[in-house]
Amino acid sequence: MSAHSKLYSIAFNKCPKCHQGDFFVSKTAFSRNFDKMHARCPHCGENLVPENGFYWGALYVSYGLYVLYCLVAFFLFVKVLKADLDYFLIWLVPSLVLLMPWFFRLARRTWLNIFVNYDPEKARQKPLGATAAEAY
């Protein structure tokens, strides 16, 4: 995967503008503060919260990710493994609940990457440091 693709930024929790600074404060989706994100990129200072209500659009991305997950899981469980539909549903509901923080973070990173493009100049600049990285 190219270090300058939108997929890189989405997959590795990086700022879409510089691909250097972290998007979310915690490294993992399965921590107590999984939803805390930087208001500005700690490396380039890019505004990661462009306007109030910006991330409402990420709900639609999240919905799409959940639907895709359910369809793939259904195909694997019921069609490939020939499992009973009851077992599939018993497995599906807890897995959706457990994966909620991961889908939340993935949807937000995807949504911002739709609107912000990579800038090699921002990647080469000297990091701003902790002063720019207040949590949102």
Beta bridge partners, 24, equal 37
φ/ψ (deg, to 5) at 25: -65, -50
Structure tokens at 21: 């600074």
pLDDT tens digits along 1-45: 555 789 999 999 999 999 999 999 998 899 899 999 999 999 999
- Where are the strands (E) in 22-77, listed by range? none
Q: Answer yes or no: are the C-beta atoms of 14 and 106 closer than 8 Å.
A: no
Q: How confident is the model at residue 68 (pLDDT cuts 50, 70, 90)?
A: very high
Structure tokens at 59: 């709900």
Which residue type is seen at 111?
W
Q: Is the pLDDT of residue 74 over 90?
A: yes
Q: Is the pLDDT of residue 130 over 60?
A: no
Q: Is the pLDDT of residue 122 over 90?
A: no
Q: How far apart are alpha carbons 54 and 82 in whole angstroms?
A: 42
Long-range residue pairs from 111-115, CB within 8 A, at least 24 positions apart, any chain: 111/54, 111/55, 111/57, 111/58, 111/61, 112/16, 112/23, 112/48, 112/50, 112/54, 113/6, 113/9, 113/10, 113/16, 115/50
Mean pLDDT of the chain: 90
